[in-house]
């Protein structure tokens, strides 16, 4: 692996997850695919679908970051019990699975990174993204917890990696299951607006 090459000022990495828990589809994978190849605020988006597997998801993320060299990373996952798109504020250093992942792993009270910080803040401009989603008429609510399953595992691992990559911002956004009035396509349009807003952040 190369030693932290400079990020491209013109690329964005968006990741989604494969289906899990007996579901046949995952809206985060649809959104990542829908955004792949798009041009947003002068940046080209690369969409990647990751495995719902502790450890393997981070290895796949590492591969994507090395290949794309993004200036911005937005990881997506599904939270089936939520009714809003929820940008996450904080990732915690804890794997504590309620169900096995897609490889049968069931970590209980294990750190994502042994000896790592207790938590990381997202470096995405979550308030700005919240406003962009609301302006796009997409239900949105900021979230203080990404849980302790593979979504949080990926979020924490991402932020741990980006701590060694100055100038690269990133974070995690949960999406709900599609329902009447909130289709996968509408959620994808909302994420386009949110990512464009993040790219426009100059602070």
- By three-state DSSP, how is residue 110 classified? strand
180 falls in which pLDDT band (50, 70, 90)? confident
The CATH code of the domain that includes 16 is 3.40.630.20
pTM score, two decimals?
Answer: 0.94
Average pLDDT over residues 98-105: 97
Asked if residue 1 is part of any domain, the answer here is: no
User: What pLDDT sits at residue 164?
Assistant: 94
- Tell me if residue 151 is catalytic: yes
2 falls in which pLDDT band (50, 70, 90)? very low
Average pLDDT over residues 157-184: 96
Asked if residue 51 is part of any domain, the answer here is: yes
Asked if residue 106 is part of any domain, the answer here is: yes
Name, in order, each residue with C-beta under 8 angstroms of 88's C-beta and a sequence gap of 6 or more: 122, 126, 143, 145, 146, 155, 171, 172, 173, 174
Asked if residue 18 is part of any domain, the answer here is: yes
Asked if residue 137 is part of any domain, the answer here is: yes
CA separation for the pair 47, 76 (Å, rounded) = 10
Asked if residue 2 is part of any domain, the answer here is: no
52 falls in which pLDDT band (50, 70, 90)? very high
If you average pLDDT over every residue of the chain, what do you get? 94
Average pLDDT over residues 61-72: 97
Asked if residue 4 is part of any domain, the answer here is: no
* β-pair type (86-87, 169-175): antiparallel
- Give residue 155's domain range: 11-199
Q: How many domains does the chain have?
A: 1
- By three-state DSSP, how is residue 146 classified? coil
% of residues, the chain, pLDDT over 90? 90
CA separation for the pair 119, 123 (Å, rounded) = 13
Instruction: Please determine, for residue 196, whether its predicted confidence score (pLDDT) is greater than 60.
Output: yes
Choice among 18, 23, 75, 151 that is catalytic: 151
Measured between its terminal Cα atoms, the distance across the chain in Å is 31
CA 60 to chain centre: 13
Query: CA angle, corner 174, sides to 94 and 95, nearest 5?
Result: 10
- In this predicted model, which residue has the larger pLDDT, 11 or 2? 11
Residues 18/25, Cβ–Cβ less than 8 Å: no
CA separation for the pair 38, 45 (Å, rounded) = 5
Asked if residue 5 is part of any domain, the answer here is: no
Phi, psi of 199 (to 5 degrees): -70, -25
- Tell me if residue 75 is catalytic: no
Choice among 39, 66, 75, 88 that is catalytic: 88
The tens digit of pLDDT for each residue in 41-51 reads 999 999 999 99
């Amino acid at each position: 692996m190369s030693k932290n090459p400079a990020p491209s000022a013109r690329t964005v990495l968006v990741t989604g997850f494969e289906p899990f828990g007996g579901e046949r589809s995952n809206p985060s994978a649809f959104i990542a695919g829908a955004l792949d190849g798009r041009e947003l605020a002068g940046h080209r988006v690369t969409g990647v679908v990751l495995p719902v597997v502790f450890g393997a998801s981070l290895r796949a993320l590492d591969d994507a970051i090395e290949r794309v060299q993004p200036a911005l990373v937005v990881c997506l996952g599904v939270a089936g019990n939520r009714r809003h798109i929820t940008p996450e504020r904080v990732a915690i250093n804890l794997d504590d699975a309620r169900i096995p992942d897609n490889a049968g792993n069931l970590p209980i009270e294990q750190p994502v990174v042994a000896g790592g910080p207790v938590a990381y803040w997202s470096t995405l401009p979550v308030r700005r993204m919240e406003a962009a989603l609301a302006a796009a008429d997409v239900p949105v609510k900021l979230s203080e917890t990404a849980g302790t399953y593979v979504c949080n595992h990926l979020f924490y691992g991402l932020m741990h990696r980006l701590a060694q990559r100055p100038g690269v911002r990133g974070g995690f956004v949960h999406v709900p299951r599609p329902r009447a009035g909130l289709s996968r396509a509408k959620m994808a349009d909302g994420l386009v607006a949110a990512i464009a807003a993040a790219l426009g952040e100059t602070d």
